[in-house]
Structure 1
Amino acid sequence: MKKIRRIIFLQDVLILACTSFGGPQVHLAMFIERFVNKRNYLTEEELLELQALCAFLPGPTSTQTITALGYKIGGPNLAYLTLLVWITPAVAIMTAAAFGMTYLQNRDIIRFIQPIGVAFIIHAGYALGTKVIKNTSGVLLMMVAAMFAFYFQSPWVCPIALIIGGTYTALDYKDYPAQTKHKMVIPWANFHLFWAFLLFLAVLGHFTDYEPIRLFENFYRNGSLVFGGGQVLAPILYTEFVEFKHLVRADDFLTGMALSQALPGPVFALTSYLGTLVMKNGTWWEQLLGSAVGAAGIFLPGTFLIFFVYRIWGQLKQYRGIRASLEGINTTSIGLTLAAAVTFLVPMVKQVDIIGIATVLATLVLIQFTKIPSFFIFLGGLALGFVFGFLV
């Protein structure tokens, strides 16, 4: 019975990997629908707690959330399988895109994809806000977090905002029932693996000229330090790979970034695209190695961290302040999502992009008043892009 349950879970993960567009908050809404409402793997409260925990860690939030869920259901082995199933579709498409860059130069093909993605982000933020935000104080916290993230765009904004939001609601810890406290037992193995591997790659990358090792170190370092998802990772990688090291052309990077945001699954799959492009002067298998290094480097540190934190999560929740902080972390996370949506909308408004704005509004209507699956909405946007690109 357990084996069948795990196979069904992996099938669910594969379906989500192929259909979940739009980033962590959109992914969370789909996780609630499938894992909570349909399969009853856990409660909605437990999933929101898990998402808040992962949002507080560096690395890809959705990937850590779904990996931790795999760990909860079937232990470490199922967790690693979950990670592989979740990232494989996006990584495969981004690798193929890097091999076929000459066919992607017409960016009109993905003209409608970003506005559709923005609409999904807005809708997910609203839907989750109705579940998480319970009072006027929560609305104000969300708005402050959104303005903070919008006006101070920095890699450190996300962790700072989450810490402040969590601390704010932690002050109301007396509203939560006390629990009998037990001595904490902390298994440090995965945490030591996380930092030791980072140190090992840094030293190895310093003393070797082998490009895949240096790439591995680069992506692992970024995966260890980046908070806030793909919208934060992309500009950091652009600065390093395009402006500083000149390993990737600017137009190639921007095309890959737009495509990664248009695909289902983790936006961090952009690194497999970059790894392939960096190795483009090598053989085809060396380019595939670059893709594998990009994916492994960006996803492994977050996996090591969530394995460490999830094992002590049950012990941490015995403290009322920790439980109270989750409300603020989730509320702040919605504010950060709102800021991301506004960041995408502002250029459309400034450029008077009637097509983009109309696409956002039309998509919101489709999401709100129809039951058309997200996959078909994005597929329709891609089809419109092909027509638009052909006409242009």
Structure 2
Amino acid sequence: MSNDTEHRPAEVFAVFLRLGLTSFGGPIAHLGYFRDEFVTRRRWLSDAAYADLVALCQFLPGPASSQVGFALGLMRAGWRGALAAFAGFTLPSALLLLAFALGADAIDGPLGTGALAGLKIVAVAIVAQAVLGMSRSLCPDRPRAAIALGAVAVLAFVPGAAGMIGAIVLGALAGLVLGGEGRSLGGPVAPGVTRRQAGLALAAFFGLLILLPLVAGWAQGLAVIDGFYRAGALVFGGGHVVLPLLQAGVVAPGWVSEADFLTGYGAAQAVPGPLFTFAAYLGAMLDPAPSGITGAALALGAVFLPGFLVLVGVLPFWDRFRAMGRAQALMRGANAAVVGILGAALYDPVFTTAIGDMRDFALALACFLALTLWKAPALAVVALGAAGGAGLALLG
């Protein structure tokens, strides 16, 4: 894997901008696009090296596809390359969702409001598909299915961010107790990061996680950064898991309504790039301020930052850490718990907010079947949901 920093960051930005404009389908699809672009076409790294990098990013909290892109930019063109990769891949969807948030109030009439209601119904199908897929890969046996069920039970009695953190911690401890066979995670990863830089990144990751809640009461802007940073720091198992964490961060305190939250989540399925850019929509919709462009920038930076800090912090130590059986057991338990967290979010707020009657449920079921059985693209399903919602509104 090349650490040659002579390659201009502009090259990295151009490649990732094209991917940011065309990469539909969620994080797993993004990783496929990356492999085709950087392993097959451009030969920036070998297939084995790419697989090792993907294994690392899927092991850590944060947005896996964005972390892979950040690492590829880092290894190709240094720190400026890492930032160029992030900007190119993230800006298209972030700007589209920001524009949607700023123009949402202008949507009026039965067709417009019906289409927005349809986006909330699409969210039911998208999250249900994510729960199904994640349960198959992360809860393939009875012990891990029990951990997921336990996470749902924790959230039933302790809702909100505290319950989610508790469920993840308990799930990790249960995974350690249950043990199990370790995974084969391939060969070494070339870091492009010194141990000193890694130590500073880890110190920043944990320092902000501890410090931000203590200073959040000083100003609303700090509270916003705290909520989005905490959400980004606790996402295990895929981009959709950020949904309940963001819901706890912005809906629970009353900054964004549940209806607006689900409308934005549905719209996020229609744009390319990382799902974490949903934070740009939420930041723009915040009440009280900061909102608009300022709120979007704060939310977007805060939700991505912890994933990049922990990636940089672990890169030089990854080869040794992943060989530890206990570390793998902890992660297996934590990943099973996040399946339960997402399953709980599927019921509340997703289902309870979006589904008002049997007609809504029928549309949600049609969208779910289109995704899972007919393998329709997410963009087509979003269009189906919006059109169906508009149609139901006209029927009255």
What do residues 15-61 of structure 1 show as CA deviations (whole Å, max 9, x unaligned)?
33xx34xxxxxx4444465457997687779746633421xxxxxx3
Among 371, 374, 389, the residue aligned to 1:370: 374
- Greater mean alpha carbon deviation, residues 339-348 or residues 259-268: 339-348
Distance of 2:371 and 2:212 partners within structure 1 = 47
Structure 2 contact 17–92 (Cα < 8 Å) conserved:
no
1:125 has 2:123 as partner? no
Distance of 1:151 and 1:205 partners within structure 2 = 26
Partner of 2:158: 152
**Gap regions ≥5 residues in structure 1:** 21-26, 55-60, 207-213, 243-249, 281-286
- Greater mean alpha carbon deviation, residues 369-378 or residues 305-314: 305-314
Secondary structure of 2:312's partner? helix
Structure 1 contact 274–294 (Cα < 8 Å) conserved:
no
Structure 1 contact 366–372 (Cα < 8 Å) conserved:
yes
Cα distance, 1:110 vs structure 2: 1.4
Distance of 1:192 and 1:356 partners within structure 2 = 47
Among 259, 278, 287, the residue aligned to 2:289: 278
1:328 has 2:333 as partner? yes
Partner of 2:22: 15
Secondary structure of 1:144's partner? helix
Judged with a 3 Å threshold, the aligned counterparts in structure 2 of structure 1 residues 378 and 196 are, in CA distance, closer, same or farther, namely: closer
Code of the residue aligned with 2:65 in structure 1: it is I
Structure 2 contact 131–339 (Cα < 8 Å) conserved:
yes
Cα distance, 1:378 vs structure 2: 0.3
Among 116, 139, 146, the residue aligned to 1:140: 146
What do residues 355-384 of structure 1 show as CA deviations (whole Å, max 9, x unaligned)?
221122112221233232111110222233
Secondary structure of 2:159's partner? coil
Cα distance, 1:192 vs structure 2: 3.9
Structure 1 contact 219–271 (Cα < 8 Å) conserved:
no
Secondary structure of 2:60's partner? helix
Among 331, 347, 352, the residue aligned to 1:347: 352
Structure 1 contact 29–124 (Cα < 8 Å) conserved:
no
Among 78, 103, 127, the residue aligned to 2:106: 103
Structure 2 contact 113–390 (Cα < 8 Å) conserved:
no
Structure 1 contact 198–221 (Cα < 8 Å) conserved:
no
What do residues 152-208 of structure 1 show as CA deviations (whole Å, max 9, x unaligned)?
3120222222222222222355744999xxxx95632223445379969988995xx
Code of the residue aligned with 1:72 in structure 2: it is A
When normalised by structure 1's length, the TM-score is: 0.72
What do residues 74-115 of structure 1 show as CA deviations (whole Å, max 9, x unaligned)?
324444334334442443234324433431356432112222
Partner of 2:66: 67
What do residues 114-147 of structure 1 show as CA deviations (whole Å, max 9, x unaligned)?
2222222222222232233332222222222233
Partner of 1:210: none
Output aligned runs, 1:1-392, within 5 Å: 11-16=18-23, 19-20=24-25, 27-31=26-30, 34=33, 47=54, 50-54=57-61, 61-62=62-63, 65-75=64-74, 76-104=79-107, 107-173=113-179, 175-176=181-182, 187-194=198-205, 195=207, 214=219, 216-226=221-231, 227=234, 229-238=242-251, 240=253, 242=255, 253-254=257-258, 256-262=260-266, 263-264=268-269, 265-266=275-276, 267-274=278-285, 278=289, 288-344=293-349, 347=352, 353-389=357-393, 392=396
How many corresponding residue pairs? 349
Secondary structure of 2:375's partner? coil
Structure 1 contact 348–357 (Cα < 8 Å) conserved:
no
When normalised by structure 2's length, the TM-score is: 0.71
* Residue identity (%): 14
Judged with a 3 Å threshold, the aligned counterparts in structure 2 of structure 1 residues 385 and 291 are, in CA distance, closer, same or farther, namely: same
Distance of 1:297 and 1:197 partners within structure 2 = 11
Judged with a 3 Å threshold, the aligned counterparts in structure 2 of structure 1 residues 328 and 120 are, in CA distance, closer, same or farther, namely: same
Distance of 2:346 and 2:51 partners within structure 1 = 24
